[in-house]
A and B are shown apart, each in its own frame.
Chain A
Amino acid sequence: MSEGARRAGEELAALHASGRLAERYPEVRGLLAALDEETGEWPPAALRRAGTVLARLGHEAVLAEHPDTPCVTVGITGSFTLQTLVAPLTAQLARHGLLLRPHLTGHGQFALQLSDPSSELYRAAPEVTLCVLDADVVFGRVPPPWTAADVAAAAGEVAALVEELAGVQGTGRLVLNTVPLPRERAAQLVDHRSRTELAIAWRAFNTRLLELGLRDPHVTVIDLEPLLGSVPRLNDPRTAAYAGTAMSDELLASYAREVGHLVRAMRGQTAKCLVLDLDGTLWDGILAEDGPAGITMAGGYRGAAYQSFQRVVKQLAAQGPLLAVCSKNDDSAVREALRDHPDLLLRPDDFVSVSASWNPKPEGVAAIARQIGIGVESLVFVDDNHAERGLVRMALPEVTVVAVDAAEPALHVERLLADGWFTTFEVTGDDRARTARYRAEAARDGFRSQVSSAGDYLAGLGVRVAVTRPGPADIARVAQLTQRTNQFNLTTERLDPAAVARRAADPDGLVLAVRSADRFGEDGLVGALFARWEGAALVVDNMVLSCRVLGRGIESAVLHELVAHARDGGARAVRGRFRPSPRNGKVRDLYPDHGFAPVTPRDDGEAAYEHDLTDHPHPAPHVTMDWRLEGQTDDRDGIPGPRTAGGRAVLQS
């Protein structure tokens, strides 16, 4: 264990011993980050111990000291004793700054608890319910002697039961898992033919469970098979027999880590940009000392390891995460190497920002966030240098720091992927095109520097906006906008795809998808508005707009049309509200700036506004609006998808 991890462990233990853990809880996240990122152990024992201590401390003690700490109610149920899941889950959520409020059901009660709307689980109103299943859920139904066909039949019954339970809603996102087949089950069959039949039946069972995750937007299935490869054992037969723990601590720790990232994604905390150091991280050697010919990333043992790492980085970047470089080097040497090195798999176009200088790394990392226009908490910084990591962690504690070891580049991939920092529910077309869009933004910046006024800039951009009801293909992206948008998010109400679909299907609801484009390119689906009719008032619950299109008058154009739409629809007022979050200060005055008058302010900081429709807001200049809400009062069989208006094909995404 490294010095940093040891110190963090000691500090955590000292806080605990002095009885001040709850009081100093805000420091815990940083300590856990240091513990987890610097340790060589896998899975880290220090994190396991921290989980035990934090679980005993409990969420109530922390909330008593720090009432604003975000807290997640998690239902924990399944086919075996899951008490041992609470500690690792506590630690994993704490790594993301989240407190766990666990609601553990009696073991084996999952069917009862999930199917009965008056159960304790329902009353706990969890945000997420983990239903962890082990092989006994099937084998418990087949008394010996059994055959592969018996198991197939029992597995079919269990799958049908789980499908039924998944259909019932009210316990938040349901997290299921694929069920590992223990060797001691398969080995009870003596012939290879039967074992093959069993293996096929078992995979069919798991496939049915996995399909639920595709079919039902409120279900996520965590595949345990890849996790099993990195833990020493599925279970300990002794504690399984005596205490009913069907999964080992190591497997549950690994599972808890996945759940942590799932909850993180639900909370809109998915990371957006991977910031890479170069020497020792992306390639072997030191550019400033060895020169471009001296750095290697192909050929030989180490070269091949670096090449694998670059492939993984490229793979991640193709799905949405942006790439940036933060390197202590001469800028010109770095740009030349990125452009010309024959073996490099990543080129300048793959990076949205390259920060190469001899300045301290925290400055470079912060500059990258500024340039891209995202918060530093959306960055994942990878570096092989212990001191640099420490500096970044100290100066920018919100940045996720990943340690790699230049002495063993073959472990770079494992270290980078150990945590699902970029985990999201569904990669959208928007994600895949993100790098190109940030590059278009750079072209826009160039244009901005050529024109003399903001008005000229906007006029020159030629912004076009299309507003439609979201089509079925838009639901995932609209949900993602509510989850990921922090700055222009009026109430920070996060919705998953299921919730978006429900709102869109509500006859009294009005959900709008906003697309934009300009002369530099398409922006795709960049905004959403959630409203509903309440008598003669149109009430806006939330509006979100991607930070990359702010400052182009899009929000004004949308509000202008919305007010007109409400009036045409017979409304007497449009109401809206603003709920402050740590990040959405810049839209505090959106409503008053658009002719809405404040209604009584509330104690919790939330502000309500109303537009009486007597004075129509000015149309946004320089924005061409295409407002198409056909099918507004139709039955919901066919939510009209976005269609191409004449000459507006550019607005499709």
Chain B
Amino acid sequence: MTETEFLDLVRLEVGLSFSPDDLVRDFDELPGWDSVYLLKLISALEGESGRRLPVAEVMEARRLATIHELVGAS
């Protein structure tokens, strides 16, 4: 999944628009972010990719880039 595709999915699923720079920012610094969105992203990403994500690692992530890597960046 490309960076653009990943950010598009985040925007679609949680309604927040982030720039590529935001990927590496800590969730605490992302305006509007809520930890409950991680759960939404997990189901959306798994639905999109058809693959299971390592959920514990997603839950431990502190930035979107980590999740993007777990999905498999391309």
Contact = CB atoms under 8 A, between A and B. Distances in A.
A16 interface: yes
A52 B39 contact: no
A17 B17 contact: yes
A84 B42 CA distance: 13
Contacts of B39: 84, 239, 243, 245, 249
A305 B31 CA distance: 51
Contacts of B13: 49, 52
B15 to A, nearest CB: 4
B43 A243 contact: no
A83 interface: yes
B1 interface: no
Contacts of B36: 83-84, 87
Interface in B40-58: 40, 42-43, 55-56
B59 A16 contact: no
B61 to A, nearest CB: 12
A481 to B, nearest CB: 41
B39, B40, B43 interface centre (most CB from chain A within 10 Å): B39
A242 B55 contact: yes
B12 interface: yes
Contacts, number: 40
A83 B34 CA distance: 10
Give chain B's interface residue range (CB within 8 Å of chain A): 10 to 19
A49 B37 CA distance: 11
A52 B43 contact: no
Nearest to B46: A236
Interface string A1-25: 0000000000001001100000000
Interface string B1-35: 00000000000111101000000000000001010
Contacts of A239: 39, 42, 55
B43 A49 contact: no
A53 interface: yes
A13 B14 CA distance: 11
A52 B12 CA distance: 10
B59 A249 contact: no
Nearest to A239: B39
A53 B15 contact: yes
A189 B55 CA distance: 28
B42 A56 contact: no
Interface string A240-260: 001101000100000000000
A238 interface: yes
Interface of B: 12-15, 17, 32, 34, 36-40, 42-43, 55-56, 59
6 contacts: A49-B15, A52-B13, A53-B14, A243-B59, A245-B39, A249-B43
**Nearest 8 A/B pairs, CB to CB:** A53-B15, A238-B55, A242-B59, A83-B36, A52-B14, A16-B15, A242-B56, A239-B39
